[in-house]
A and B are shown apart, each in its own frame.
Chain A
Amino acid sequence: MKKTIFSLSLLSAALIAATPAWADPAKVIRIGVASVGTGGRPVVGGSSAGTAALRGLLEEEFKKDGVKVEWHYFKGAGPAVNEALANKLLDFAWQGDLPAIVGKAGGLKTKILLANGTLGTTYLAVPADSPVKKLEDLKGKKVALFKGTNGQLVVNKVLDQYGLTEKDFKLINMDTATTDAAMATKDVDGAWYSANVFTLVDRGVARIVWSNKEGPLSLTRQTHFLVTEDFEKANPEFTQRVVNVLVKTSADISKPENADKVLQEWAKSGTPYASYKRDYGGGADIKRRSSPLLDEFFYNHYRDAVQASLKFKFIRKDFDVNQWFEPKYVNQALKEQKLENFWTAYDAKGNPKGGK
């Protein structure tokens, strides 16, 4: 019996010793990013969050407090971020509209703080030597799509406009890296892409047959920066400071004279400078797409996205977008940095609302 007690005591001691010292939430800020760079590198472009990470701006901001900033780049994109949020492994996240909507409808307690990459592009590409000329030619064929990401919502809206649904294609769920490989080996007849499509186009691997570049704004994809309700309640000051840094970064990358430098920084993600340049209209679109404003367009887009998600059965439960957005932090940051009129606010239809 003595031996048993001794053994159990030893094991208990081992358990206690082995238990990791959990980071005090106030001492660590954990940020999830729903994207990775080419080849699985922890670098992304296309947003002020990406630039802030590249330049170590949040680390610098919290250095004096002894607060560590951890960036987590998820190969599984938005769905993997949701999984981490559900398991309480993140405080903030950079994510697209659809996965965040699915998470919110499923009970994730999050608050959207600011827009962080708007009017995202979507491209439908086919192998370069494919006879396919237009979207409809791919009916019944194998098309790759990273399901659960904000691309899926755009694709469903686009198909809806053509009177088509996902079931009209053999849609295969593939992540970005797998899609690139499948396109090169022609395992798929087509694939839906974002700006990274140009890396394949430039190599002569793929050809674009459809894009939302000239289409209505309702067919663009939006990304945002969110916080968990738990973290926000416990650390409102830290939340404000995170938003401050992101707004300041957005302003910096929005200046035309910085465009070239910004695109070159983003190219560290592995998506070439030339691809970003083409996707961002030579750099001219950076300011519009980097606006952090939670304007009427952004609100309306998310309301529409929730309704579209219900229609396409991505979610089962409606919820109020007004309650989900928390604009006070971004408004405060804009006021403090005197940037209230720096970006143009857009109305629900995407038209400039006075100002610039």
Chain B
Amino acid sequence: MKSKLTMIAASLLLAAQAGAAEQALNNKQLQEQIEALQNSVKALQQQLDRQVAATPAAEKIDIEQLATKEELQGLTTDLENYKYQVQRDRDTKTALATRNLVIGGTVQARVSYNDLAVNNAVTDNRKSSFDVPTAVLTFTGNLYKDYEEGRNLSYALRFGYSPQSNATQLLDTSNFNLLDANLTYQLLPTLAADEGRLALTFGQQLVPFGLEAAATEDLKPVINNAQFVGRYGFAQRQIGIGLTGDLLPEVDYGYNYRAPLIKYVVGLVNGNGPNKSDNNNKKDFIGRIALTAPAEYNSWWRELTLGASLYKGTNTLFVAGSKVGDGVKDRFGLDLSYNHHPFGVTYEYIRGTDTVASGTVLNPVKTKVDSRAQTATLFYNFGEQFVKGYRSQARFDDWWPVSYQPFYRYDEFDANTAKSNDKTIINTVGLNVFFAETTKFQLNYNRREDQATNTKSNEYLAQFQYGF
């Protein structure tokens, strides 16, 4: 038994010795591994030190310039909030259109006094009135945008309100009539300013006869149109087709100024006004050519233009409400304008020939009546309203160059040149005050002399006009 125990103890001792030897071996290996790892770390550290040393100073990272996680989260939150707000506003507060759309308009609010009373037995008996003479709502935009050459297809849709006739006023109604409804296609490239342009307009549009009928504010300071515009029907839109172009443009890039030597318009229209089919098979012809002095911007010849316009039309004649045939409706005009800030001058001479019918339906009498009109305007600008580059300044506020424009216009219309003493002459003096980008205040005094009725009257108009 004792020997057995001795053997077991000897065995255990041997085993313990063997374990200790193995442990010593493992420790040695571990020590070697640790040393190898330490060497690797040292080598890596040295490599890193060399790389850092080789990094240019500019690329070294400044710990203070690094964004913190909180800062990045703040920025991310801001972006998410912005995206949410944009999407939300688009869903609930944004007007959308199928194509590019610009909405604009013009409104006039007027007070007037005329010492010759308007006295209509049915409705009116007044010398003064508050009016909204016009309110126009405009939609324009591109239907096709040609990125390569600028041969764009654009549209215009315009509705206008005008005071109603006495009879309509009794009904207390108002109409918002369709004014313009047309498409315009640029037949020639428009990207280069120093090349000619050619555009085709199809649909209901204003007839570009002379200066006054289609004039913009820089050439027409007066509240009322010259008499010939209404008397010859040029205030009305016509339905048809027109080609508008220019040739040999003078481009002065030093002033961002473009003035074509020749501007021209040719077109065909129904001739019987807006929103109506033609009442005959003959189409009215419109043609205009204008020559502008080929001058640089800083030249006394700048914006000196001579123009000629022709309207050759057919008028359906009626006697007692019955059609009795066709007559002529011809107009020919010459115009001269010199718009050289700060002053400007315009002159227009127009002759018209109209066939009028009288007699009976069975025996109509057709007579040609010649008429004549001339109008001249002088104006002077105090302020920079019409200096294009000056208006477009960088400002922190809603700045606008307040401008004052006094003017004088002589306007004569002779309804029948065969008759003497039947002219209507209106002399107008006035002042325009441009006090905001799209808003002006106008004062006009009209001295009207009606030779046919031998009456003279004085009219005073004050009006705000604003656009948006």
Residues of A within 8 A of B (CB): 3-4, 7-8, 11, 14-15, 18-20, 36-37, 40-42, 72-76, 78-84, 86-87, 89, 98-99, 102-103, 106-108, 142, 147-148, 152, 170-173, 187, 314-315
Contacts and interface: CB of A to CB of B under 8 A. Distances in A.
A3 B404 CA distance: 25
B256 A102 contact: no
A107 B296 CA distance: 10
Interface string B263-296: 0000000000000000000000000000000001
Interface of B: 115, 147-148, 191-193, 252-257, 296-299, 341-342, 382-384, 387-390, 392-396, 402, 404, 406, 429-431, 433, 443, 445, 447, 458, 460
30 contacts: A8-B445, A11-B429, A11-B445, A14-B431, A15-B404, A15-B406, A20-B382, A42-B393, A74-B390, A74-B392, A75-B393, A79-B253, A79-B257, A80-B256, A80-B388, A82-B298, A83-B388, A86-B298, A87-B384, A102-B254, A102-B255, A106-B254, A106-B297, A107-B299, A108-B298, A170-B191, A173-B193, A173-B253, A187-B147, A314-B253
B394 A86 contact: no
Contacts of A84: 387, 389-390
Interface of A is mostly: mixed
Contact of B253 (A37, A41, A42, A148): A148
Nearest to A188: B147
A77 B148 CA distance: 26
A41 B458 contact: no
B430 A37 contact: no
A76 B388 CA distance: 9
A20 B342 CA distance: 14
B250 to A, nearest CB: 12
Given A7-B445, A83-B390, A87-B342, A103 B253 contact: no
Report which residue of B255, B387, B402 has the largest number of chain A beta carbons within 10 angstroms of its beta carbon. B255
B429 A80 contact: no
Nearest to A16: B406
A187 B341 CA distance: 36
Contacts of A314: 253-254
Nearest to A15: B406
B394 A82 contact: no
B255 A83 contact: yes
Contacts of B254: 78-79, 82, 98-99, 102-103, 106, 148, 314-315
Given A8-B429, A11-B431, A76-B392, A86 B297 contact: yes
A38 to B, nearest CB: 10
A18 B435 CA distance: 11
A286 B50 CA distance: 35
Contacts of B383: 20
A84 B254 CA distance: 12
A80 B404 contact: no
Nearest to B147: A187
A186 to B, nearest CB: 9
A41 B396 contact: yes
Contact of A73 (B148, B253, B393, B402): B393
A83 B191 contact: no
Contacts of A19: 382, 404
A331 B115 CA distance: 70
A18 B394 contact: no
A170 B195 CA distance: 12
A147 B256 CA distance: 8
Contacts of B395: 42, 73
Nearest to B341: A87
